[in-house]
Amino acid sequence: RARGTSTATTGDGGSAVHVAINGRHRGTFLLAGALRRDADRLFNDLPVNTTVALVSGDGERERDRFRALMGSEASLHFQQSPLDKLEFVRRLQREGKTVLMVGDGLNDAGALRQADVGVAVVEDMASFSPASDVILRADRVGELAGWMRFARRAVAVVRVSFGISAAYNFVGVAIAASGNLSPVVCAVLMPLSSVTVVAFATGATLWLGRRLDNSLRRGARP
């Protein structure tokens, strides 16, 4: 028997697939794309001064849904090819911006590799994924904002550690140059300065990690 299908866009951004057999309509399948779990949490928890953009190969019918999710200031780009995504990342970098790219498919591979930080979202950690700096399980996408905040604070710990080291050495050199320290004392203080900086960096990083872990368990903002 003759069979046929036709597809139409519904008012809510989904698709309706109509099935006909021998010229008679037999049924309709309503299809709608599903957002990643905790996607709303991700956008609500992003750090301040984070600019958000969507670069998707999907059609314009998803625009209203993503606009409601991502906010009025987000830039939305649809029907983008893999080369379009790659060029979008390059353009932002030429403007002096640091780009974090999140993608879940092979068509995102070029943009993930080009971005300053590429995050590949996968359903199974053992499955194949595009080359990236980070591999994130799909059911933990909502935690990405917390990890971004942790990374920024970790950078602050590194800077403070350099500051402590510089101050320690500046004071030590000044006192040693004045002749008030013996060579033996200097020999003891030099490794002690390294131990101090390492202990501070390790302790601060562990504290930040525990704080992030506790906040993620509670579902709160770290």
pLDDT for residue 15: 72
**Judging by beta carbons within 10 Å of its beta carbon (0-12, 13-18, 19+), is residue 63 exposed, middle or buried?**
middle
Torsion sign, CA atoms 157, 161, 162, 167: positive
Buried b (16+ CB within 10 A) or exposed e, 24-51: eeeeeeeeeeeeeebbebbbebbeeeee
Nearest to 104 by CA among 58, 146, 140, 135: 135
Q: Which domains are present in the chain?
A: 1-33 (no CATH), 39-141 (3.40.50.1000), 146-218 (no CATH)
Indicate the range of 24-28, 92-96, 152-156 predicted with least confidence.
24-28
Give yes or no for a contact between 88 and 67, defined as CB atoms under 8 angstroms apart.
no
Read off φ and ψ for residue 123, nearest 5 degrees.
-80, -35
Cβ contacts of 164 within 8 Å, gap of 6 or more: 196, 197, 200
115-173 pLDDT tens trace: 999 999 888 766 666 778 888 888 888 888 888 888 888 999 999 999 988 888 888 77
Give yes or no for a contact between 41 and 218, defined as CB atoms under 8 angstroms apart.
no
183-216 pLDDT tens trace: 787 777 778 888 889 999 999 989 888 887 777 6
Residue 53's H or E segment, with its range, is: strand 53-55
Amino acid in the structure at residue 33: G
Beta-strand pair 117-122/134-137: parallel
Q: What is the pTM of this model?
A: 0.68
Q: Please tell me the distance from the alpha carbon of residue 81 to that of residue 94, in angstroms, as a whole number.
A: 20
Out of 23-27, 69-73, 100-104, 217-221, give the one with best mean pLDDT.
100-104
